[in-house]
Structure 1
């Protein structure tokens, strides 16, 4: 009995060892998941739909324009759910990232690594830095930059002082700085005007394009959306959208002053910061020409750029960042209509890509 028991235990341990070896050989994605990914890719190439939050995604799932796939409706991989279907005859795979540049970048890279994606459409809401536009307007920026990568300068140094590691090519003064003393209340008082926080210098991202030499770094600050996609978006420019929350027209507090419109704009700006400060909004507008300001699009843009995949971002304005408009607490009041407007324009845009070959 003892010998038989030992042989049984040894056999069980061998089975476990083989199973562990198989798991290690497969990496973090199982054979079953890889097989499902292969089945899904038979329906490609797809337009990849990348969305930050559930309230910007659920209206798509509820729209009759989105037809879920009957063969592979969704596939869960490493905490992300990829949803398959079609919009206007164009096959799509949709994924929600969650907030922040990190989540957006990781999710976009997973999307491109796992599936046959010919292009990316990203949408959602954004703060507004352009006072010529209105809450609810849908913006389509041509360029995106990441503005929360800084070199923070030591107290006592000025704009003519070289930054640490600047000579090595790690950092640069090319894109300018924000000096905290410029925003000190009571600048006429010398005791108040000198701010030990000094200045932060905006930095480009270090990137490694897939078409380049591995580990040979390049830098990117302004990343341009696909020229083809941006040109196609001109077909939607000027399109008017509903101006009232819940479709009502009798309650002035739930209606915007005019019908929101679609506008192609020059620049959008992202960062791992929720901007609710009017003075910083004004700085971003004056310094960088930002219109939409939010927390994900530049990450999507940078990943798409490095992988050579066309992309475009559609962002509806939910509030004047930091306040100052006659609409009061804009974001909480108009977030629903802003999210729906972004969804509506995305649903109009994606069918335009049906005959586009794309890249990747």
Structure 2
């Protein structure tokens, strides 16, 4: 999660579910929680902690939006019971792919777009955990929340689709991504995606091509 191209090797998939007036205790479950559609076993956001009048991270008043919980994705296994889904919250990468990816560390990558350059040389690295969802994250506080609760160091919007299909079809999976911007902006005035997107795309392709050569 930053402006250094990175090799994503681990993926969590999540979606948001906003609840009003539910989930305060064992007898006050979230809708569909009993069937496993939602979970509070992992990190969640308490909306009132982010009121404008918060002091030391705690709100002086209640917020009826309550919490944002996370839920697993629903997949239909190719060899499972017809129209009976399975819950998937965590998709792991293939061990062999993960091992091969280490050999890409130290690979030379592009640094500049025309006359605009990254402040430091980009590197290839394997990350422990990444998050993918159908929302665009451009908020520093939410970025820090995802890191503190899930230990996620990369966020994207596309890898989940490939991960879930691979999981369903029982195919080996790895995601190679170049991170072009820091969620919430690397500075107080801009988000670097518009500047470095083309560089990130080229670096990702270069790493992918090199990775394919390792498979032969």
User: How does the TM-score come out when normalised to structure 1?
Assistant: 0.54
**Conservation of the 8 A alpha-carbon contact between 2:184 and 2:191:** no
1:158 aligns with 2:41: no
1:212-223 correspondence to structure 2 within 5 Å? 212-223=80-91
Note closer, same or farther for the CA distance 1:327–1:316 as it changes in structure 2 (3 Å cut).
farther
For the residue of structure 2 that corresponds to 1:317, the secondary structure is coil
Q: Kindly provide the CA deviation profile for residues 181-224 of structure 1, in whole angstroms up to 9, marking residues without a partner as x.
A: 11112124x98642221112111122232244444432211101
Tell me, what secondary structure is at the counterpart of 2:154? strand
State the 1:288 CA deviation: 1.0
Q: Do structure 1's residue 267 and structure 2's residue 134 form an aligned pair?
A: no
Measured in 1, the distance between the counterparts of 2:30 and 2:188 equals 42
Q: Give the SS at the match of 1:348.
A: helix
Alpha-carbon RMSD across the aligned residues, in angstroms, is: 2.4
d(CA) in 2 for partners of 1:144, 1:191: 33
Distance 1:191 1:199, change over 3 A: closer
Structure 2 length-normalised TM: 0.87
- Partner of 1:151, secondary structure, is strand
- The answer (yes or no) to whether the contact 2:5–2:203 under 8 Å persists in 1 is yes
1 CA distance for matches of 2:12 and 2:186?
25
Which whole-Å CA distance do the structure 2 matches of 1:139 and 1:331 have between them? 15
Alpha-carbon separation, structure 2, partners of 1:156 and 1:308? 36
Residue aligned with 1:168, SS: coil
Q: Would you tell me which structure has more strand in proportion to its own residues?
A: 1
- Partner residue in 2 for 1:336: 198
Q: How does 1:239-250 map to 2 (within 5 A)?
A: 239-246=107-114, 248=115
Q: Distance in 2 between matches of 1:187 and 1:319?
A: 29
Pick the structure with greater CA Rg. Answer: 1
- Judging changes above 3 Å, is the alpha-carbon distance between structure 1 residues 306 and 156 closer, same or farther for their aligned structure 2 residues? closer
Cα distance in 1 for residues equivalent to 2:165 and 2:25: 31
Aligned partner of residue 336 in structure 1, secondary structure: helix
Say whether residues 1:294 and 2:144 are aligned partners.
Answer: no
Contact 1:185/1:192 (<8 A) preserved: no
Match of 1:285 in 2: 147
Decide whether the 8 Å contact of 2:53 with 2:59 is kept in 1: no
Which segments of structure 1 move beyond 4 Å, counting only runs of 4 or more?
Answer: none
Matched, 1:257 2:124: no
Q: How far apart in 2 are the matches of 1:192 and 1:221?
A: 34
Structure 1 residue 328, shift from structure 2 partner: 4.3
SS in 2 for 1:219: strand
Cα offset, 1:156, TM superposition: 6.3
Q: Which has the higher contact order (CA 8 A, sep 6+)?
A: 2
1:348 maps onto 2:214 in alignment: no
Alignment CA distance shift 1:338-1:174 (3 Å)? same
Q: Does residue 234 in structure 1 map to residue 97 in structure 2?
A: no
Find the aligned partners of 1:232 and 1:327 in 2 and give their Cα distance.
39
Please give the alpha-carbon distance, in whole angstroms, between the structure 2 residues aligned to 1:303 and 1:201: 24
Cα distance in 2 between the residues matched to 1:163 and 1:326: 37
**Counterparts of 1:157 and 1:210 in 2: how far apart (Å)?**
34
Shift of 1:290: 1.6
